[in-house]
Structure 1
Amino acid sequence: MTFTNEANQIFERAINDYHVLDNVDTPLNNPYQKDSIQNSLYKKCWIDTVQWHYEDIIRDPHIDPLEALALKRRIDRSNQDRTDLVEEIDSWFRQYYSQVVPQADARLNTESPAWAVDRLSILALKIYHMQEQVNRTDAAPEHIAKCKAKLNVLLEQQKDLSLAIDQLLEDIEAGRKYMKVYRQMKMYNDPATNPILYNQK
Structure 2
Amino acid sequence: MSAQKYNQLFDEVIKKYHILDNVDQPFKNPFESTSFEHLLYRKSWIDTVQWHYEDIIRLPDIDPIEALVLKRKIDASNQDRTDMVEYIDSYFLDKFKDVKVKKGAKINSETPAWAIDRLSILALKIYHMNEEATRESASDEHRAKCQEKLNVLLEQRVDLSTAIDDLLNDFAAGDKYVKVYKQMKMYNDEDTNPMLYKKK
Per the normalisation by structure 2, the TM-score is 0.99
Moved >3 Å (runs of 4+): none
- How far 1:180 moved relative to its partner? 0.5
CA distance in 2, matches of 1:35, 1:55: 30
Give me the CA root mean square deviation. 0.6
Shift of 1:17: 0.5
Instruction: Report the counterpart of residue 149 of structure 2 in structure 1.
Output: 150
How far residue 114 of structure 1 moved from its aligned partner, in angstroms, is 0.3
Aligned to 1:84: 83
SS of structure 2 residue aligned to 1:189: coil
Gaps (5+ residues) in structure 2? none
Which residue of structure 2 lines up, in the alignment, with residue 35 of structure 1?
34
Partner of 2:43: 44
Q: Give the Cα–Cα distance (whole angstroms) in 1 for the partners of residues 192 and 34 of structure 2.
A: 31
Amino acid at match of 2:142: H
Deviation (angstroms), 1:101: 1.1
SS across alignment from 1:35: coil
2:71 alignment counterpart = 72
Q: Does 1:130 align with 2:129?
A: yes
Q: Give matches, 1:112-191, under 5 Å.
A: 112-191=111-190
CA distance in 1, matches of 2:6, 2:182: 23
Q: Which runs of 5+ in 1 are unaligned?
A: none
Match of 2:107 in 1: 108
SS in structure 1 of the partner of residue 109 of structure 2: coil
1: CA distance, partners of 2:198 / 2:100: 47
Quote the Cα distance in structure 2 between the aligned partners of 1:3 and 1:33: 19
In the TM superposition, residue 28 of structure 1 has moved relative to its aligned partner by: 1.2
Q: Which amino acid aligns with 2:136?
A: T
What is the alpha-carbon distance in structure 2 between the residues aligned to residue 149 and residue 5 of structure 1? 22
Task: Report the AA paired with residue 133 of structure 1.
Answer: E
- TM-score, length-scaled by structure 1: 0.98
Percentage of matched positions with identical amino acids = 62
Measured in 2, the distance between the counterparts of 1:185 and 1:28 equals 28
> What is the alpha-carbon distance in structure 1 between the residues aligned to residue 28 and residue 134 of structure 2?
28
What CA deviation, in whole Å up to 9, does each residue of 1:118-175 have, x standing for no partner? 0000000000000000110000111000000000000000000000000000000000
When the two structures are aligned, how many residues end up with a matched partner? 200
